[in-house]
Amino acid sequence: MLLLSREDIKSVVTMKDMIEADKTAFKMTVDGTVKTPLRTVIDGKYDGAFLFMPAYAPELDAAAMKVIDIFPHNVDNGKMTSPAQVMLIDGKDGYVIALLDGTYVTQLRTGASSGAAFDLLAKKECKKGAMIGTGGQAATQLEAMLAARKLDEVKIYDLNAERCQAFAEQMQKELADYGAKIIAAENSDACIEDADLIITVTPSAKPVFDGTKVKAGATISCVGTYEPHKHEMDPAILPRASKIICDSKEAALSETGDLLIPIKDGIISEKDILGSLGDEINGTIKGRENDDEIIVYETVGVAAQDLVAAKVIYDKALEAGKGMNWG
């Protein structure tokens, strides 16, 4: 079994690799070529939750199981909010062939989900980005945004101003090669002002931006909400949106209050949700048709992403001789 650390993974794949891996995963999901039961969620103490996400793809001769634990208060103690591990399993004999740092795999594939959505759904010419949230998923979300479109600047907002400033400064250093200016915003209105691309990646139970202030032509990726009683997206954006597309429509309608709450309140109906990103890839639904459309992308994550990402990482690690053999 190959043990692959964050450093091993980072040395063999790029964000663009992960964006393409996510596209493959989303296509496989709608094509039915991967088996991905809905995740099992067990609530714990301390506002925590334990998530178990299996997947099997016969055409890859591989299966995977990710165990990820969501503890939002960890950020206040300098710990990761979503520690995880991914097991990659050989589909031919059932042996576990790799154990990967699931926290980093999750960060990569979740960031890449926004990157895939922006690559497929955003305007070709985008100059300004905005991101609300600076938790454990934020760094790869920001990188995916920058990988998908050449931006001049990205504004960042977080309720903790000190943490927001520190995050912006750190990201300016780490992502300098992308050439964008990364700025800490004073509030959410200033953050999303004139933004072409917007990401929300928070555990908030209430909206984190004003949907009436999003400009025409923007693409919004809502990442943080995976529970039915929470919605970080402002429902006011939904009547303004030309299209609402999910990573998986089925999963989103089972899990996220971003959509379930507005449906319950009669703001939208299930029919207003166009479909899954894999449907757009296959051409069965239309993506962006003009530069004035507001498009909302809702992502809750599907296990196929972890499987495809783990397989791509494993294959590249074998080729590069990275990782530690164990057992």
How far is it, in rounded angstroms, from Cα 264 to Cα 258?
Answer: 11
What's the pLDDT at 273?
A: 97
Three-state SS at 121: helix
Q: How far is CA 232 from CA 20, 95, 202, 267, 274, in A?
A: 27, 40, 7, 16, 20
What's the pLDDT at 185?
A: 98
What's the pLDDT at 57?
A: 98
How far is it, in rounded angstroms, from Cα 303 to Cα 306?
Answer: 5
Query: Which stretches of the chain are DSSP H helices?
Result: 6-12, 15-31, 102-121, 138-148, 161-174, 188-192, 249-255, 257-264, 277-282, 303-320
How far is it, in rounded angstroms, from Cα 231 to Cα 88?
Answer: 32
What's the pLDDT at 80?
A: 81
What's the pLDDT at 155?
A: 98
One pLDDT digit (tens) per residue for the chain, 327 residues: 999 999 999 999 999 999 999 999 999 999 999 998 877 889 999 999 999 989 999 999 999 999 989 898 998 998 888 899 999 999 999 999 999 999 999 999 999 999 999 999 999 999 999 999 998 899 999 999 999 999 999 999 999 999 999 999 999 999 999 999 999 999 999 999 999 999 999 989 999 999 999 999 999 999 998 788 899 999 999 999 999 999 999 989 988 999 999 999 999 999 999 999 999 999 999 999 999 999 999 999 998 999 999 999 999 999 999 999 997
Q: What angle do CA 154, 156, 157 make, to 5 degrees?
A: 155
Q: Which residues contact 324 (CB under 8 A, 6 or more apart)?
A: 2, 3, 5
What's the pLDDT at 31?
A: 97
State the pTM of this model. Answer: 0.92
